[in-house]
Amino acid sequence: MKVSDLRTIELDGIDKIILGVLTENSKVPISKIARQVGVSATAIHQRIKKLESAHVIEDSVTPLNYKVLGYKTTAYVGIFLEKSAQYGDAVKDMMNIPEITEAHFTTGNYAIFIKILCKDNDHLMQVLRNRIQKIKGIERTETIISLEQSISRQIKP
């Protein structure tokens, strides 16, 4: 399902509490949320399933500390395409590059804006030169290296 196919849903107070708790710690036991809200664990479990069915909760992902795993360079790359019609094929090819963690179809100067995690600047240069810039339809790229991530959070419902 595409994001554009999704409809907006109304959240009640219990849904907002559940989402608030889960955005802080996705591993919190359902029983703890139930005690906080004042309803049964079964009711909380059913609410979470409803939120998943409505695509409010997409996936349960465990955030990793990439620096501890050796990925010390984060870069953002603006991609210029020869033709905007090449977007789909370019993104399909980028799916084969594991260092690319996000890709966005954007307005403005870039057709695509991506986030890359690499071990170091040499690794980044190899990914850019040997993988990304060889994708058919990519005319050129502009790279911004992140020196520090100051904020990392989800929006509270």
Report whether pLDDT(24) > 80: yes
Report whether pLDDT(75) > 90: yes
Pairwise CA distance, residues 89 & 111, whole Å: 13
Q: For residue range 27-55, list pLDDT tens digits in order.
A: 899 999 999 999 999 999 999 999 988 88
Look at residues 46, 96, 48, 99 and name the one whose alpha carbon lies nearest to residue 72.
Answer: 99
Mean pLDDT in residue range 8-12: 86
Pairwise CA distance, residues 156 & 113, whole Å: 25
Report whether pLDDT(16) > 70: yes
Pairwise CA distance, residues 48 & 19, whole Å: 9
Indicate the pTM of the whole model.
0.77
Buried b / exposed e over 125-139, threshold 16 CB at 10 Å, is: eebbeebbeebebbe
Domains within the chain, CATH numbers bracketed: 12-53 (1.10.10.10), 73-146 (3.30.70.920)
